[in-house]
Structure 1
């Protein structure tokens, strides 16, 4: 009888530990840290808005990050509470422009291999506003969540 109770208690403890481990692993897999770790390459292309756009001027602020895709796809993740438009500039090529990327959303540029790009970001925000964007090498369309 005593042995049965000890065995039962041991199984219950092992079960609780197994369930806890699964919950922790599941939480980690849905975390930003896991997404960063599994991303092939990531560039932070955050900028500070150089000046506010007006009806007469469309302001693009360029990042210092130089990006190169090995997969042929670059995905931009908008980490702001406002929409952004991303411009990829490459010497000798026509500038690539994304659609408007909603707050927390993603946009993937296709067929961008073998060339180094500079990332420019436009947003309808005041001067000196931080604009946060990350670029991944490959298609990563999960929205950003805090």
Structure 2
């Protein structure tokens, strides 16, 4: 009888360890990160006009973003650098630092205001500029 109890205890221990491993794997998965970032927006745009040394062009997205966490994180999904501008009616425009290719930038203190996202990149006319904005701060990249 004692042998059966030991075997049952070992099996329960193995199942518990397996459950912990599966749960840990899920928490590190992309689907978990996407679910955790409850609100995310695709703010990709097509460059409307090429910038020159005399003209800094910003292309604005039609998407409006709103942060409940106080932080909006920008993911640059391009192979070139970008600068992001957040425009809120009646407020001064908020501008990011240069965001390197395939990198992130987080705007803080942007709670409960609706922003239009503008993107500047030194690219030609009609170039696609791919950006994802999500509510919160995370540095794990989302893939397609």
TM-score between both structures, scaled by the size of structure 1: 0.78
Query: Which contiguous aligned blocks of 4+ residues in structure 1 show a shift greater than 3 angstroms?
Result: 28-34, 143-146
**Residue in 1 aligned with 2:42?**
44
SS of 2:138's partner is coil
Cα contact 1:106–1:142 (8 A) shared by 2: no
Which residues in structure 2 correspond to 1:110-129 (within 5 Å)? 110-129=108-127
Could you tell me which runs of 5 or more consecutive residues in structure 2 were left unpaired when the two chains were aligned.
1-10
**Residue in 2 aligned with 1:104?**
102
Which residues in structure 2 correspond to 1:1-146 (within 5 Å)? 26=25, 29-143=27-141
CA deviation vs aligned residue, 1:56-108 (integer Å, no higher than 9, x gap): 10000000000110001100000011111000000010000000101111000
SS of 2:116's partner is strand
CA deviation vs aligned residue, 1:99-141 (integer Å, no higher than 9, x gap): 0101111000010012100000000111100000001101112
Cα contact 1:77–1:107 (8 A) shared by 2: yes
> In the TM superposition, what is the alpha-carbon distance from 1:35 to its structure 2 partner?
2.4
CA–CA distance in structure 2, aligned partners of residues 144 and 123 of structure 1? 21
SS of 2:107's partner is strand
Cα contact 1:77–1:143 (8 A) shared by 2: yes
CA–CA distance in structure 2, aligned partners of residues 129 and 30 of structure 1? 33
Q: Paired residues, what number? A: 131
Could you tell me which runs of 5 or more consecutive residues in structure 1 were left unpaired when the two chains were aligned.
1-10
